[in-house]
Structure 1
Amino acid sequence: MGFAAQAQTAAVKPANAQTKVAGPQIQFEEMKYDFGSIKTGDVVEHTFKFKNVGTQPLVISNIGVSCGCTTPDWTKEPVMPGKSGTVTAKFNSAGKMGMQNKVLTIESNSAGGNAMVSLVGDVKDAAAAMNVAPASSDVSAPADAKEAKQKTKISDNKTKAKRKAS
């Protein structure tokens, strides 16, 4: 008695395959950018890249921000299916301290609704950062036009300095 098996072939999609959505669909490469530690007053700018993975043109109508310290800019023309665009966020840390999480809400005609991206990081006190940084020891610039020449003699662990005006 013989047994016969017949395999049925079904279309199997890999787990990472993208399915085209009817209508426009925004998909960001990254949802969060960590700018690390900066000092108060520094300005951080980052560009988030996105792709329209839908079937119709994607149009961003507005970007809402969680704070007036963050200013957005974005691709203004329609982004065709399969094409890419950008959202740029500029964060001014003046008057800010500690951990920051600045959220941008991207309002568009995306079938998935609004999207959100964020800038995160730590803002340190500029004065404290200056106290921690080593002092500059740049002596290459003369204090005035009549620079004093200095000769140093080292003997028996004693240092003697002679100054001679030129």
Structure 2
Amino acid sequence: MKKIILGLSAMCLIAFTSCKEDATKKIDETNIAVAAERDAVASKFPVIEFDKTEHDFGEIEAKSKVETTFKYKNTGDAPLVITDIKSSCGCTVPQNWSREPLMPGDSGEFTVNFNGSGSNKISKTITVTANTEKGSEVVKITAFVKPDPNKVVPAKS
């Protein structure tokens, strides 16, 4: 049994050491250059820069619809691709953004609609998912929603 294990070990050792010379001959200098260039490009990310990161609608009536536009610019070194924009609730709807790559230096925008739900001071976040280094960016809307004057308040007994 020991002879079999010793024999198999010797064959494996010979097989592994005989491959060393062939591996160094298979290295192609052009592949090394291509890999270095690919790695250099992979470290470049797009950078999304907003004209504002927060919008305050001020005082609004309950149930009134308001809208704002967030403008952004790609200030990075690679094309910017926005894959999704989501809000923290269904009362805030982001829309109209381009799903096409935005080249460095180019600008884009998206709109956010808020339906005036809630009461008093509200704050909603909008998450922009993109191929930036962080992977997502956040902008925010705020408003003070005044009570609905037509709402019937139950009388206290």
1:18-97 equivalences in 2 (<5 Å): 22-73=44-95, 74-94=97-117, 96-97=118-119
More helix by share: 2
TM-score of the aligned structures, taking structure 1 as reference length: 0.61
Match runs of 1:91-130 below 5 Å: 91-94=114-117, 96-127=118-149
Deviations 1:100-135 (A, max 9, x none): 10100000001233110011010001317xxxxxxx
Among all aligned residue pairs of Structure 1 and Structure 2, give the percentage whose two residues are the same amino acid.
41
Query: Which 5+ residue runs of structure 2 have no aligned equivalent?
Result: 1-42, 151-157
Q: Distance in 2 between matches of 1:41 and 1:56?
A: 41
Report deviation, 1:65: 1.0
- List structure 1 runs of 4+ shifted beyond 4 angstroms: none
What is the TM-score of this pair, normalised by structure 2?
Answer: 0.64
Q: SS in structure 1 opposite 2:149?
A: helix
Q: Provide the alpha-carbon RMSD of the alignment.
A: 1.5
Distance 1:72 1:27 in 2: 17
SS at match of 1:127: coil
In structure 2, the CA distance between the partners of 1:63 and 1:71, relative to structure 1 (3 Å rule), is same
Query: Given residue 88 of structure 2, which amino acid in structure 1 is its aligned partner?
Result: S
TM superposition shift of 1:24: 1.1
User: For structure 1, which runs of at least 5 residues remain unmatched after alignment?
Assistant: 1-20, 129-166
Offset, 1:29 = 1.1
Q: Distance in 1 between matches of 2:60 and 2:102?
A: 34
